[in-house]
Structure 1
Amino acid sequence: MMTPQLRRWWFRLGQLAGLAVMAVLGIIDIRFGLIRPYGSLDLLLSLERVVLALATVMVWMPAHRQGSRRLPKLALLLAAGSILVTLGTVVAGGGPLGTWGLAESCGLLGGLYVVARRGAAGWAVTAALATGVAVILLPLRAVTDSTYIIAGLGLALGAAAAAAAGTYLRFLDQGREQALAAVRSEQRAEFARELHDFIAHHVTGIVVQAQGARFVAEQDPQRVILALEQIEHAGAETMNSMRRMVGMLRDPDAPPNAPLTPLAGLADLDSLLAGFNGSAPPVARLHADGGLDGIPVEVSTTAYRVVMEALTNTRRHATGARSVDVRIRRGPEWLLIQVTDDGAAPRATAARGQHRYGLIGLAERVRTLGGRIDAGPGIDGGWVVDAALPLNQEVAR
């Protein structure tokens, strides 16, 4: 899984590569007659070409957000300026004495790609068409005979390829966002089911204890006090869990009649590891440090899901793994979970597969509780999943 920091490094590397290409093309332009000091008009048009080539950098180089309205508007202004300079050069009789501007051509193609990928849908089509026209007309600055047809066709193919690449990646991004939205929706529905089970369990206990206290009130008042204390504890725990989990239930698309499933928490880790070890290698071992009783139910169930997801990914993707160590450590304010295997790290292609969305959904659940989770290759090899879950709301804030 590519980390945000690694993605930023790749983005910066792409920016430097683009600038280097434009610099080389700019040198070629100047060498072959982009600057034409034969008259004031020629000099003005030449300087405008240099300015346009530099202006394209302001379109393709910044990291634009998806659906940006500013991006296609900048591209429209740039395309209009390029077309005006082209027409001015033709009217002034530019002829074959100068190059049309290879650096500007490259910059416009880069801008076309970025607009197709990141621009707001309504504006992006117009800006892409205008930029494509500007690119195709560029050779008119240097050639007006049949050679223009060849150069124009080449640039038209380049413009079509840039637009197609940007549109393709745009659709990939949209599909990824839809997949992530589906994972988050499924996670919210799972929270809803677990919250329903938990509240039903505690409310049932409260009702039973209240009914029992009513019958023994006259015979044994001390038992009534004990029942009231248990009712108070169960009610407080239920309210705390509701406050911490209700944020996940705000999705209007969550299925209202989702089937209920029993809660699984830290107390069920032994059976989870027993089932894991009973199927096939590797062998999983549990190391618990600190008591696991009295942990809030949403923390306990989330910790269970962290271990379950890590074991599932080990089984699917850790080639040659012989052992898995599951470490649970309870501190005064945090519950720490670490799952480590000694297999080969998942390949990049596998990291983009379905289990990636499992980890993303798990990260969404952990963040909801105010916790942290990280997954990646271990220092000594294998794969490591680390998670930290807060044990109280004050720490979560």
Structure 2
Amino acid sequence: MRRNLLLHVGQAGAVFFMAVLGLVDLNSGMGVGSSLDLAPVQVLSAVATAVVWLPAHRQGSTRLPKVAMLLAGFSLLLTIGIGVFGGGTGASFGSAEAVGLLGVLFVVTRRGDPNWAVPAVLLTGIAIGFLPLRGGLTTTYVIAGLALGLAATAVIALGVYLRTIESTRKRAMDSVRSEQRAEFARDLHDFIAHHVTGIVVQAQGARFIAEQDPKRVMLALEQIEAAGAETMASMRRMVGVLRDPNAQPDAPLAPLAGVDELGQLLESFTNQGDVLARLHVDGSTTGIPVEVSTSAYRVVMEALTNIRRHAQGARVADVWVRRTPDWLLVRVANDGAPPRAATPREAPGYGLVGLTERVRAVGGRITAGPGIDGGWVVDAALPLDQEVTR
């Protein structure tokens, strides 16, 4: 929200600055002295630039560079009309339009589709560099054109820099999401393989004792039914979860840490530093679906790791686990200072991105932010029944 507010304030300031430049252009006699009365057209061209760069554009837009090329082409034709056929105005060439075209150049470089952005940037840059020729071919206007060309180069460099940062961050986030979903799939693979193996063993045992003790067969069938139902529920949840195509299906089974292991996790966390970790459990932890239990464990583990790294001055970390009829609610809070926002040059943390992907994979949701009484709070809601999220 703060970022959007700053963006809107910046846009409003840029529009105001263009308006002031436009008044200066008109006051200096823009269009006066030329045999062609094109001053209203120049004003319209300056307004058109604001219409292009002011709205928010999606990344990779093809419409944006196409519109920019039309606007730059029109500006070039106007320059030719005034500077060549009109003999030059000898006054202001339209500094408001120049600033507007620089804004268009930045937005196209930052957001435009790469295939269309390159010709759009070239054409817009030429239009900006030739703009002062509307005033004439004197040394002053030629120098002004060179200065605008340098400004256009700087704007392009800034747009490319910000675009590269965003692209790198997006690739990193996609990689984290993919790794998290693959890890989740492997956890479920281990769990399902474990239960299926148990089902097979119990079925084989039931076949051998069927004639000797029929009552034990009924018990084995009940266990097989329960294990099969839990396995099928986990398989339904696994639909849509990305898998690693290189993962080995016969990998050795690994024990899955869940809610019941949180006590050991918090004890180990407390023993490793100066922060006291306390666990509060409300409700029974038996019968929780394995993917929900392991996801809750990962949420707490990642939150505690972030406390160790980023919560300066933290003394206490409280972990609440509450079970309702439909949800498992997890909260991790600390009393330290909230982490400062990372600058574009700093390597951002992607732990929360991975957690968000894992929680969403089981149909849950997660939030993180400053607490009401200070510190930092991570809240996760994990559905015990997939139907509650539909």
Q: Scaled by the length of structure 1, what TM-score is found?
A: 0.93
Counterpart position of 2:309: 316
Alignment of 1:381-396 (within 5 A): 381-396=374-389
Counterpart position of 2:255: 262
Once residues 266 and 356 of structure 1 are traced to their aligned partners in structure 2, the CA distance between those partners, rounded to angstroms, is 25
Counterpart position of 1:27: 23
Q: Is the 8 A contact 2:178 2:242 kept in 1?
A: no
Counterpart position of 1:379: 372
Secondary structure of the 1:356 match is coil
2:122 corresponds to which letter in structure 1?
L
Counterparts in 2 of 1:353 and 1:204: CA distance versus 1, 3 Å: farther
Q: Please point out which of 29, 36, 39 is paired with 1:42.
A: 36
1:62 corresponds to which letter in structure 2?
P
1:63 aligns with 2:59: no
Counterparts in 2 of 1:185 and 1:85: CA distance versus 1, 3 Å: same
Q: Deviations over 1:194-252 (max 9, x none)?
A: 012101110111112112211221232222122111111111111111111231125xx
Q: Is the 8 A contact 2:110 2:160 kept in 1?
A: yes
Shift of 1:370: 1.5
Alignment of 1:131-280 (within 5 A): 131-249=124-242, 254-257=245-248, 261-280=254-273
Counterpart position of 1:333: 326
Secondary structure of the 1:144 match is coil
Secondary structure of the 2:204 match is helix
- Aligned residues, how many? 388
Structure 1 portions without partners, runs of 5+: none
Shift of 1:350: 8.0
Counterparts in 2 of 1:360 and 1:352: CA distance versus 1, 3 Å: farther
Deviates more, 1:79-88 or 1:18-27: 18-27
Alignment of 1:276-355 (within 5 A): 276-349=269-342
Q: Is the 8 A contact 1:189 1:255 kept in 2?
A: no
Counterparts in 2 of 1:133 and 1:311: CA distance versus 1, 3 Å: same
Deviates more, 1:67-76 or 1:9-18: 9-18
Counterparts in 2 of 1:352 and 1:6: CA distance versus 1, 3 Å: farther
Shift of 1:262: 2.7
Secondary structure of the 2:281 match is strand
1:10 corresponds to which letter in structure 2?
L
Secondary structure of the 1:234 match is helix
Once residues 353 and 246 of structure 1 are traced to their aligned partners in structure 2, the CA distance between those partners, rounded to angstroms, is 36
Once residues 179 and 164 of structure 1 are traced to their aligned partners in structure 2, the CA distance between those partners, rounded to angstroms, is 23
Q: Is the 8 A contact 2:82 2:89 kept in 1?
A: no
Once residues 222 and 238 of structure 1 are traced to their aligned partners in structure 2, the CA distance between those partners, rounded to angstroms, is 25
Secondary structure of the 2:382 match is strand
Counterparts in 2 of 1:351 and 1:33: CA distance versus 1, 3 Å: closer
1:33 corresponds to which letter in structure 2?
G
Secondary structure of the 1:98 match is coil
1:127 aligns with 2:120: yes
Once residues 63 and 95 of structure 1 are traced to their aligned partners in structure 2, the CA distance between those partners, rounded to angstroms, is 36
Once residues 352 and 146 of structure 1 are traced to their aligned partners in structure 2, the CA distance between those partners, rounded to angstroms, is 41
Q: Is the 8 A contact 1:307 1:339 kept in 2?
A: yes
Q: Is the 8 A contact 2:79 2:133 kept in 1?
A: yes
Shift of 1:133: 0.4
Q: Give the fraction of aligned pairs with identical amino acids, expressed as a percent.
A: 60
Once residues 393 and 14 of structure 1 are traced to their aligned partners in structure 2, the CA distance between those partners, rounded to angstroms, is 44
1:256 corresponds to which letter in structure 2?
A
Indicate the structure with greater helix content.
Answer: 1
Q: Is the 8 A contact 1:339 1:384 kept in 2?
A: yes
Secondary structure of the 1:42 match is coil
Deviates more, 1:146-155 or 1:279-288: 146-155
Counterpart position of 1:79: 72
Shift of 1:119: 0.8
Shift of 1:98: 2.9
Q: Scaled by the length of structure 2, what TM-score is found?
A: 0.95
Shift of 1:91: 3.0
Counterparts in 2 of 1:309 and 1:254: CA distance versus 1, 3 Å: farther
2:327 corresponds to which letter in structure 1?
W
Once residues 218 and 13 of structure 2 are traced to their aligned partners in structure 1, the CA distance between those partners, rounded to angstroms, is 75
Deviates more, 1:293-302 or 1:234-243: 234-243
Q: Deviations over 1:65-120 (max 9, x none)?
A: 11111011000000000000000002343534431111100110010011111111
Deviates more, 1:292-301 or 1:60-69: 60-69
Q: Deviations over 1:261-312 (max 9, x none)?
A: 4311101101101110111110000000000110011000000000000000
Counterparts in 2 of 1:273 and 1:124: CA distance versus 1, 3 Å: same
Once residues 359 and 153 of structure 1 are traced to their aligned partners in structure 2, the CA distance between those partners, rounded to angstroms, is 47
Q: Is the 8 A contact 1:115 1:124 kept in 2?
A: yes
Q: Is the 8 A contact 2:359 2:365 kept in 1?
A: yes
